[in-house]
């Protein structure tokens, strides 16, 4: 588990270094990180490349059998869109870095049979808290507020 979260955090930090929103994700299959991604709202002027969706895009076109063995690691509780992407591809397990700064679709994921593990990682929390304090308008835009 440590490797997946660590890869997601590296992506979040990379996003921040690019001037973007510090949310990262990693897709792990059979114990290996097969793709990573991060929020690209600023970098790509994108409204749909969040951490998890960008990671899925970077993973390429995968058969359902691969998603069925996957765990999605994300530094922050997944928003409704990323929740839906996880459900679309029937990814059975999601590891969430933190949900103190934002609480997304965890209840709905569980209701739909997805295992959700919340790590409550201090680094993830700090990354988001610092960003939200520095860029509240940008953060609100990212979550549709």
Q: List active site positions.
A: 52
Binding site for a copy of itself (CB under 8 A): 41, 45-49, 53-54, 56-57, 59-64, 67, 79-85, 87-90, 105, 108, 140-141, 143-145
Paired sense of beta strands 24-29 and 70-74, if any: antiparallel
Phi, psi of 47 (to 5 degrees): -95, -5
Least distance (Å) between residue 25 CB and a copy of itself? 12
Least distance (Å) between residue 132 CB and a copy of itself? 16
Least distance (Å) between residue 124 CB and a copy of itself? 20
- CA 15 vs CA 42, 49, 65, 69, 76: distances in Å: 9, 12, 30, 27, 14
Minimum CB distance to a copy of itself smaller for 5 or for 59: 59
Q: Report which DSSP code applies to 113.
A: T
């Amino acid at each position: 588990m440590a490797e997946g979260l660590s890869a997601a955090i590296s992506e979040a930090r990379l996003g921040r270094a690019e001037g973007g929103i510090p949310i990262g994700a990693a897709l792990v299959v059979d114990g290996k990180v097969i793709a990573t991604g991060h929020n690209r709202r600023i970098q790509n002027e994108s409204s749909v490349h969040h951490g998890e969706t960008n990671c899925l895009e970077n993973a390429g076109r995968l058969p359902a059998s691969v998603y069925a063995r996957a765990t999605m690691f994300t530094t922050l509780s997944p928003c409704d869109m990323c929740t839906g992407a996880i459900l679309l591809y029937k990814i059975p397990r999601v590891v969430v870095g933190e949900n103190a700064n934002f609480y997304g679709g965890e209840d709905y994921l569980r209701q739909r049979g997805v295992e959700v593990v919340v790590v409550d990682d201090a680094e993830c929390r700090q990354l988001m808290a610092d960003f939200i304090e520095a860029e509240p308008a940008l953060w609100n835009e990212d979550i549709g507020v």
